[in-house]
Amino acid sequence: MYPLLFKYGFKRMDPEKAHHLAFNAIRTAAATPAVRGGVRLTAAPKHPSLRIKALGLDLPGPFGLAAGFDKNAVGIDGLTMLGFDFVEIGTVTGQPQPGNEKKRLFRLPADRALINRMGFNNDGSAAVAARLARRTAGQRTPYRPNAIVGVNIGKTKVVPETEAIADYVTSTERLAGHADYLVVNVSSPNTPGLRNLQAVEHLRPLLTAVREAADRTTSRRVPLLVKIAPDLADEDVDEVADLAVELGLDGIIATNTTISREGLQTPAGEVEACGAGGLSGAPLKARSLEVLRRLYGRVGDRGVTLIGAGGIETAADAWERILAGATLVQGYSAFIYEGPLWPRKLHRGLAELLADSPYATLADAVGADVRTDA
């Protein structure tokens, strides 16, 4: 059903409008007890073999929804209902902002990719923190189990680079107490100057300040991760890995979107007409995997959890990232093309791949290919 709905419905709509329509449907289903109960039973079966511990958390599986889909923490229950093992909200900024001018989201169906220059459109960290507080205060039921929620934070566009640390600290102080883990996003190409913060001389004081802010905000130690771009040079990837070990960072997400347009099937004129923005989806597979393998080769078993993201469409893609060193994996763009049953399909395939492998548990498989290569 979904391929037909996408072809004759969503594909003909403005991508951002289609996103809001689909997301509203998910949220409505989650708010309707009879619907959400049936969806959880049919669309999101859990495979016990996929349970894994990461970041001090016990997760039902390794597959999460990447930041960008639910920017404002308004649909966590619906997304968990569909079968995502964890949901990363955001990117959330210190101040509310509308993002860049529309049109700012584009599909490249021939490449199973998206180009976006959304610009961190969100309600701001104060509003999102209040929403998360109300949600966690609500009573749990069998149809609304606890969800693992990551919170991705970024820099407010109007804040100058010289005040970026204070902006991140503001968001941290508001959100850390509501996050199962916290992600510092310094890798979106859609906020001017943001990627400059990936340089270790800027990244070290930023991550140190965020860590200190999280620790003084809540007595619970909130895992802290950084999300990096696939466009970093190899030596810069190495420096981020070394910094993560030095600072005792809990994890790295590899990778965000790319500014590259190489190797696309979509005609060059159509791609050029989309304009600037981050490219996500299938074209990222090779570079994101390469960055992940490099990170794992650098940090190994030194306590830094790696999350693989970028171009994950199938169970085979997720399995490849796990063998390359990812304890957890995330997707987003394929959700647009595959529809609401995508988590179910990926879980089933991943459980089958694990069962056919020589590994007793998912944790045993993490980094197996890189360890073999070494």
Cα R_g (the chain), whole angstroms: 19
Residue 144 has pLDDT above 60, yes or no: no
- Please indicate if the annotation marks 333 as binding a ligand: yes
Is 219 one of the catalytic residues? no
- Please indicate if the annotation marks 121 as binding a ligand: no
What is the Cα–Cα distance from 146 to 140, expressed in whole angstroms? 7
β pairing state of 105-108 and 113-116: antiparallel
Residue 45 has pLDDT above 90, yes or no: no
Residue 163 has pLDDT above 80, yes or no: yes
Residue 225 has pLDDT above 60, yes or no: yes
Q: What is the pLDDT of residues 227-281, one digit of tens each?
A: 999 999 999 999 999 999 999 999 999 999 999 999 999 999 999 999 999 999 9
- Please indicate if the annotation marks 190 as binding a ligand: yes
What is the Cα–Cα distance from 106 to 117, expressed in whole angstroms? 9
Residue 44 has pLDDT above 70, yes or no: no
User: pTM of the entire structure?
Assistant: 0.95
Q: For residue 241, give Cα distances in angstroms to 165, 218, 325, 373.
A: 21, 27, 13, 19
- Please indicate if the annotation marks 68 as binding a ligand: yes
- Please indicate if the annotation marks 146 as binding a ligand: no
CB neighbours (10 Å) of residue 315?
19
* pLDDT reported for residue 359: 98
* pLDDT reported for residue 5: 75
Are 196 and 155 in contact by the 8 Å Cβ rule? The answer is: no
Are 86 and 328 in contact by the 8 Å Cβ rule? The answer is: yes
Sequence-separated (6 or more) residues with CB below 8 Å from residue 116: 68, 104, 105, 106, 190, 257, 277, 278, 280
- Please indicate if the annotation marks 118 as binding a ligand: yes
What is the Cα–Cα distance from 325 to 215, expressed in whole angstroms? 28
* pLDDT reported for residue 41: 55
* 3 state DSSP class of 209: helix
Mean pLDDT of the chain: 93
Sign of the four-CA dihedral 338, 276, 151, 326: positive
- Burial of 323: CB neighbours in 10 Å, binned 0-12, 13-18, 19+: buried
Confidence of residue 36 (pLDDT cuts 50, 70, 90): low
* pLDDT reported for residue 142: 44
Are 328 and 308 in contact by the 8 Å Cβ rule? The answer is: yes
- Please indicate if the annotation marks 227 as binding a ligand: yes
Q: Locate the DSSP E strands across the chain.
A: 52-54, 57-59, 63-65, 86-93, 105-108, 113-116, 149-154, 181-185, 224-228, 251-254, 278-281, 305-309, 328-331
Residue 38 has pLDDT above 70, yes or no: no
Catalytic residue among 188, 260, 280, 288: 188
Are 29 and 39 in contact by the 8 Å Cβ rule? The answer is: yes
Q: What is the pLDDT of residues 59-105, one digit of tens each?
A: 999 999 999 999 999 999 999 999 999 999 999 999 999 999 999 99
Domains along the chain with CATH numbers: 2-373 (3.20.20.70)
- Burial of 96: CB neighbours in 10 Å, binned 0-12, 13-18, 19+: middle
Average pLDDT of the segment spanning 310-337: 97
- Please indicate if the annotation marks 255 as binding a ligand: yes
